[in-house]
Amino acid sequence: MNDMHSCSYFCDRPACIKAQRDELRAALAAQPAEPVGDVVVSCNEDGQIVAVTRQDDEGRILSVIAEAQPAPSHRAPSHRLSDARMDGIYNAWRDMGDDVSYGDLMRMVEAEIQGGK
């Protein structure tokens, strides 16, 4: 007999915890292994980073990795770093653990751009 009940992720019944774990594991496994698109850093006219996004070859935003607050009110120029360098920065940020923020990622990318000028 299946004694599962309809509950939320706050349920602490062992069967529910296992079902939630299995559901999350399946969702994670369904995600593509390699991200699609180029990582693009968008800056405002003052050179401050306003967003880090993944874009397709036509410049359409596929996903937003990080966005500075407040959002700019004008179109910002973009600075492209090599895919390998952006992936390296992103992976280094991700590997820093749970105590880092998107602001930390923005500062890392900005430092790379400033160092590259």
Question: In terms of domains, do 52 and 5 share one?
Answer: no
pTM of the predicted model over 0.85 = no
Amino acid letter at 8?
A: S
**Cα–Cα distance, 48 to 79 (Å, whole number):** 11
Reported as a pLDDT band with limits 50, 70 and 90, residue 91 is confident
Kindly state the average pLDDT of the residues 47-51: 83
Question: In terms of domains, do 82 and 105 share one?
Answer: yes
**Cα–Cα distance, 89 to 104 (Å, whole number):** 11
Question: In terms of domains, do 61 and 27 share one?
Answer: no
Structural domain count of the chain? 2
Question: In terms of domains, do 6 and 57 share one?
Answer: no
Amino acid letter at 71?
A: A
Domain limits at 57?
A: 38-116
> Does position 70 have pLDDT exceeding 70, yes or no?
no
Question: In terms of domains, do 23 and 53 share one?
Answer: no
**Cα–Cα distance, 116 to 46 (Å, whole number):** 16
Question: In terms of domains, do 72 and 94 share one?
Answer: yes
